[in-house]
Structure 1
Amino acid sequence: MDEDRDDFEFERRFFCRELPQELNDGDPPTLIVQSYFVHEDNYALRVRLQAEGISRPMDEHTDALNVLLEEREHFTAASMTAKGPSIGGTRYEAERPLDVNIAAELVVRGGSLIVKNRYGIWLGEDWWNVDIFGGLNAPLVVAEVERSGPVTDLVIPPFCITEITDDPRFSNDGLAQHPYSTWAEAFEEELHSQGSHFLQNFGANRSLE
């Protein structure tokens, strides 16, 4: 075991309306299927499989288990991760690699599944991941930035509508338990009445020119 492994993640996350045009260049995303075997009070145990170069549509008809079974031979990376609650953009996350075949068997046998396409791009000085969710979480789009330390003085691109960093509803384990489609209308009403907000305790929030 690597005693120097840093088991914390520092990230900020944002609700988006659609795939940013900057990412719509025709390159296939990373296909992700993951299952949560524990997801309570924002604590979670996750098994994830990833496939590169595979493009699957993400809509309300996309079934995570079917995607896994149909694309099983294309998944080349897997991991098991224990997560704690997100507090101020910091979350305990202990991730360890897992044999792909073992991971697939675990996901087939249980847990609460999520399927998504992940796109990535450099914007300013940060690498952004943008996730397009399928199944009961469609048409949710979430953008996130992760660093080795607190995400301060962030350049926020215009496709980020509002910040959801510490909103447990939007954590992947939260979405596994209570999919976005079951409360999307209530969230839209909330966003309309309260407006967008961005955390102010991470230095200056800057706009991408």
Structure 2
Amino acid sequence: MLEVERKFLVTSQAYKNETKTRTRIVQGFLNTDPERTVRVRIKGEKGFLTVKGKGNDTGTTRFEWEKEISFSDATDLIDLCEAVILEKIRYEIPVGKHVFEVDEFLGENKGLTVAEIELQHEDEPFEKPNWLGEEVTGDNRYYNSQLSQHPYRDWES
């Protein structure tokens, strides 16, 4: 299945006033090769295994395969993951006909807040809330797989 997604920095915490759901996420990577990342995620009380392919030239579209796995299997697999385990709080915010997922990172990526929106196609129009900042779609530094290798706290200001 192809995933079409755009990613933005967040300029304020105003999104929290519009949040419909808030979920803690823990995730790690079994493989961070850009050609095929393999992610293990615990979202609330559920586990997921995800494989993502390399993005297109704009970084907007790429193959994604995801299956739910048991919580205990996900917990066991997290122990096998590479480098930094990501922790974040995900807020889901409906805006117009879409839902933004805002990830407020914790731990070694604390201070980074990123919003993502999934679209049907790359040119699909969408409403931009006032807390949405610079677009970082295609900037590899903001990929979760890269944040697990090069955490935000280590970036130069």
Pair in the same fold by TM > 0.5: yes
* Identity rate, percent: 31
Which residue is 1:12 aligned to? 6
Which residue is 2:68 aligned to? 97
Which is helix-richer, 1 or 2?
Answer: 1
User: Deviation string for 1:93-140 (max 9, x for gaps)?
Assistant: 111111110110111343331000000111122111100000111110
The one-letter code matched in structure 2 to 1:145 is I
**Deviation of the 1:40 alpha carbon:** 2.5
Which residue is 1:107 aligned to? 78
Find out whether 1:138 has 2:110 as its counterpart: yes
Mapped contact 1:30–1:50 kept (Cα < 8 A): yes
CA distance in 1, matches of 2:138, 2:72: 33
**Deviation of the 1:42 alpha carbon:** 5.8
After superposition, the Cα gap between the structure-2 partners of 1:184 and 1:127, relative to the gap in structure 1 and judged at 3 Å, is farther
Mapped contact 2:20–2:92 kept (Cα < 8 A): no
After superposition, the Cα gap between the structure-2 partners of 1:153 and 1:25, relative to the gap in structure 1 and judged at 3 Å, is closer
Could you state the TM-score of these two structures normalised by the residue count of structure 1? 0.68
Q: Secondary structure at the match of 2:7?
A: strand
Q: How many equivalent residue pairs?
A: 154
Runs of 5+ in structure 1 lacking a partner?
1-6, 52-74, 186-209
Which residue is 1:24 aligned to? 17
Alpha-carbon RMSD: 1.9
Runs of 5+ in structure 2 lacking a partner?
none
1:81 aligns with one of 50, 56, 61: 50
The one-letter code matched in structure 2 to 1:33 is V
Structure 1 segments (4+ residues) deviating >6 Å: 25-28
2:41 aligns with one of 37, 48, 51: 48
After superposition, the Cα gap between the structure-2 partners of 1:135 and 1:85, relative to the gap in structure 1 and judged at 3 Å, is same
The structure with the larger Rg is 1
